[in-house]
Structure 1
């Protein structure tokens, strides 16, 4: 037998190559590759029986390589190497299928035991293959490919197209058979999981489903359906009584839910479709997907479509926005959150779907706008940060996400009021800022940032309340102070110009003359003469 080692680190490859007693195990050739593409090229040129691969590599993951080998070389056995020590529970789950899982740093004695066990599996399969034709061995792969092509729309759901496909692939699928689809969807993880590990966990879910969902006398296929779901197709050629069949399916699904929670820390839901002909399967799968789309209460459960009724009409008037608004004015944030939690907890689950979340979010946004308007701020100043935007997105996908967003938003409102309890209105803050910074070149940007308002909006409300624009108000104030300094101090005109924010004498002279009707020097001289006369 031949082995291929795939790892992006050359030192890791050499360690495995030199640490294993290959000849003692009966391994003939040991090939190596440093990335997925290199490994694929090697497969196409060499005979390989065992793939010993790292999972995480920069130019394609070990899972991607496994998917490729399953499609092109289904008899190759794979052993994964990974440093994810926190996922020790995966080893048992992965062993339910044809893939083994070894943690780094590798203990070569354990690696040799796994290799020996894998070689025994290969030898057993070869004996079986010698006693049967190649079609039996490849049947599972061919059937899986059929369902994939069928659901992707590459095969039309009509008798002629299906018959042609079955004839070409030598499939013994009968058009008169009835099927029952089961969609298994991961709703969330109970522990933080990154993208790479999510793929690994979904592979483990398929293995667990393949092990648990076994019903006597019923053929079934366990198929990867999406990044977050697995599809199980049952072929119902037996006369098993429907009620008993549903009980068996529910029992299997609940075992699967428990195993997923225990081994791979997933909250999953199982959606059981309706028995129908092969022609109706695409629309049946769509119905299961729609049911999952509207399942926004992320709790493990088994749903039978034949028992499902249409969602109740959402009662939009149930949200007491007026009452919450009054509580908001009184600062009763915790009472608002408690009331919302209580109402949503006691709302019928059949009402809470995507439409419900959308409407509730729009209603709650009314409170946010009222809060912002009362405080002369923009909503984006409160909730424009990345975390708030992410929570808003999640609020439209699950009830848990909605409550997290509401809690986060109310907390921001409370903190805003606490921070700004003694803060004057924005017009008064603008006047105070100008007074304190007369000796500087005051810009609208600095003023707006100081009062936490958009510059255009601040300009509008300032002129409405004061009667003049902010720029005119600044000039008037500067001229008032300049006149006071020219009359009551001995400061030079240059010093006076700098004290009111003009660092260019000619600019000060020009503006003063235009506003007062006389030059600074003439104004100073006339007031000196007036003072001496008095």
Structure 2
């Protein structure tokens, strides 16, 4: 058996945890929580048999926790710990079904005695479950566990395996009936919500689904399927098939969608499977998960599997005319490029058929536009996009249409801003920087660089250092190393080839300078990047 200790004083939790001989009692796991909300999260993630809780706590009382436990986990037994033997509190605790209460400071021998008696009551109730109301209450938990085991592959989808499982669990499940799975998935949150709060809100979504998903002549099981999804298993019992059933399921789904948006700030989508035998449910649900994976339009909606199968290809991808857009960017025609991209990503009547394949292809093509832009201006890509925001937006570009649009608009803003800032670059220092970037593979002398801008080498050196902050030679090394790192990360070229491409025809010199500038050898750098890519 397992025990959950709830007390707002950490020292009290530690005292109880260390003062009780749990192994001697036969307790397998001891969980702890410092308030009611933490306790609720423990219940959702761990099997609890006995609740050992303080009554008076600042963030919700033990009595409130017991009320919640009675509703959601009625078979859990509760023992209260309290500093005050106030009659009204004890009376309320007993009314709510607390097994016993213990006064603080605790007598651990008394606590162990109460726990032994509580464990004996649990064992007795379990022995009588076949003929008691507790079995009826436990049945829902057992059925939910069956569906989880079934979809995790722990039970083979054949008649013999299922029959044996139901016989062992004393479940009366119709193997010949028809089932319809409905997958309800949270696609995004309308407000900023912490990871911990998301778990609680998902619990709220499950409760909403249980309350609203009621269809005559059917039985439904609502299961927490993952951190972001709820699964409804609908068993038909003489219910007419076809349009009428689908209409009622869709109505329930839309009620869940509306309630989720209003009450728990979630945008959810519902995916409705096809009627089939229980043996086919794992493959049907796998198809629903594939639908959700390809749904990159994070807007509330209801989708039917049979319609998705008829529309498998989705929106036809077409070439993005990258070459033309590149020329327009040279001409400063940013508004026209943005307009064409908007047309490409939100085509009239086709928006909801855009899938991940489309996003991946568009993202790849758009990156060629960025490379073209930087090549035309003799700069490196990381000069524009080597910061956290760009990387974060790029990661999300292949997950949703909203994510792709955010990244594209960010990239367009960066490119347009670069052109605006650098509209007047015709000065000696800027021309020198451009000349160096265009000749990274050459071994340039100071005289060659100065002759390019028609200045004395010493004078150019002084004004360059004053304006840029580093010497010309240091600037050349920096740019060569940046190019080398790009080539090592983005290409399969050997280190010797990379060295020559950035102007080092002596491998030892390249290796020495690269190691000095980056803190690692070219070989170590390449291995490190490969490990990050593999992850």
TM-score, scaled to structure 1: 0.66
User: Is contact 1:144–1:223 with CA below 8 Å preserved after alignment?
Assistant: yes
Corresponding residue for residue 317 of structure 1: 318
Q: Which of 371, 378, 381 is the equivalent residue of 2:380?
A: 378
Map residues 180-199 of structure 1 onto 2, 5 A cutoff: 180-199=180-199
Corresponding residue for residue 400 of structure 2: 398
Corresponding residue for residue 98 of structure 1: 72
Matching of residue 217 in structure 1 with residue 235 in structure 2: no
User: Is contact 2:345–2:351 with CA below 8 Å preserved after alignment?
Assistant: no
Q: Which of 446, 449, 459 is the equivalent residue of 2:475?
A: 446
Alpha-carbon distance change, 450 to 312 in structure 1, aligned in 2, over 3 angstroms: closer
Distance across 2 between alignment mates of 1:138 and 1:448? 71
Offset of residue 459 of structure 1: 9.8
Matching of residue 65 in structure 1 with residue 42 in structure 2: yes
SS of the aligned residue for 2:378 comes to coil
Offset of residue 305 of structure 1: 1.3
Map residues 133-532 of structure 1 onto 2, 5 A cutoff: 133-308=133-308, 309-312=310-313, 314-347=315-348, 348-349=350-351, 351-423=353-425, 424-425=430-431, 426-428=433-435, 431=449, 435-437=459-461, 444-449=473-478, 454=483
Distance across 2 between alignment mates of 1:171 and 1:164? 10
User: Is contact 1:179–1:234 with CA below 8 Å preserved after alignment?
Assistant: yes
Corresponding residue for residue 35 of structure 2: 54
Alpha-carbon distance change, 4 to 378 in structure 1, aligned in 2, over 3 angstroms: closer
Q: What stretches of structure 2 of length at least 5 have no aligned partner? A: 74-83, 100-124, 438-448, 451-456, 488-497, 510-535
Offset of residue 203 of structure 1: 1.2
Alpha-carbon distance change, 238 to 442 in structure 1, aligned in 2, over 3 angstroms: same
Q: Which moved more, 1:374-383 or 1:309-318?
A: 309-318
User: Is contact 1:204–1:264 with CA below 8 Å preserved after alignment?
Assistant: yes
SS of the aligned residue for 1:171 comes to coil
Q: Which moved more, 1:193-202 or 1:238-247?
A: 238-247
User: Is contact 1:254–1:302 with CA below 8 Å preserved after alignment?
Assistant: yes
Offset of residue 260 of structure 1: 0.3
User: Is contact 2:7–2:35 with CA below 8 Å preserved after alignment?
Assistant: yes
SS of the aligned residue for 2:382 comes to helix
Distance across 1 between alignment mates of 2:142 and 2:133? 14
User: Is contact 2:6–2:52 with CA below 8 Å preserved after alignment?
Assistant: no
User: Is contact 1:221–1:234 with CA below 8 Å preserved after alignment?
Assistant: yes
Distance across 2 between alignment mates of 1:333 and 1:54? 55
Offset of residue 311 of structure 1: 3.2
User: Is contact 1:36–1:65 with CA below 8 Å preserved after alignment?
Assistant: no
Distance across 2 between alignment mates of 1:216 and 1:233? 14
Alpha-carbon distance change, 116 to 291 in structure 1, aligned in 2, over 3 angstroms: farther
Offset of residue 160 of structure 1: 1.1
**Larger Rg computed on CA atoms:** 1
Corresponding residue for residue 103 of structure 2: none
Offset of residue 54 of structure 1: 2.3
User: Is contact 1:9–1:34 with CA below 8 Å preserved after alignment?
Assistant: no
1:230-266 Cα deviation digits (max 9, x unpaired):
1010111223343222121111111100110011100
SS of the aligned residue for 1:317 comes to coil
Distance across 2 between alignment mates of 1:354 and 1:36? 50
Distance across 1 between alignment mates of 2:179 and 2:201? 27
1:51-74 Cα deviation digits (max 9, x unpaired):
986267xxxx545421255x3439
Offset of residue 81 of structure 1: 8.2
Distance across 2 between alignment mates of 1:247 and 1:238? 17
Offset of residue 275 of structure 1: 0.7
Distance across 1 between alignment mates of 2:188 and 2:177? 35
Distance across 2 between alignment mates of 1:38 and 1:394? 50
Q: What stretches of structure 1 of length at least 5 have no aligned partner? A: 14-31, 85-90, 100-107, 465-470, 472-534
Alpha-carbon distance change, 75 to 241 in structure 1, aligned in 2, over 3 angstroms: farther
1:83-129 Cα deviation digits (max 9, x unpaired):
79xxxxxx9xx999739xxxxxxxx9xxx99x959954889xx9xx9
SS of the aligned residue for 2:156 comes to coil
Q: Which moved more, 1:385-394 or 1:375-384?
A: 375-384
Corresponding residue for residue 474 of structure 1: none
Alpha-carbon distance change, 174 to 420 in structure 1, aligned in 2, over 3 angstroms: same
Distance across 1 between alignment mates of 2:334 and 2:159? 62
User: Is contact 1:311–1:351 with CA below 8 Å preserved after alignment?
Assistant: no
User: Is contact 2:187–2:298 with CA below 8 Å preserved after alignment?
Assistant: yes
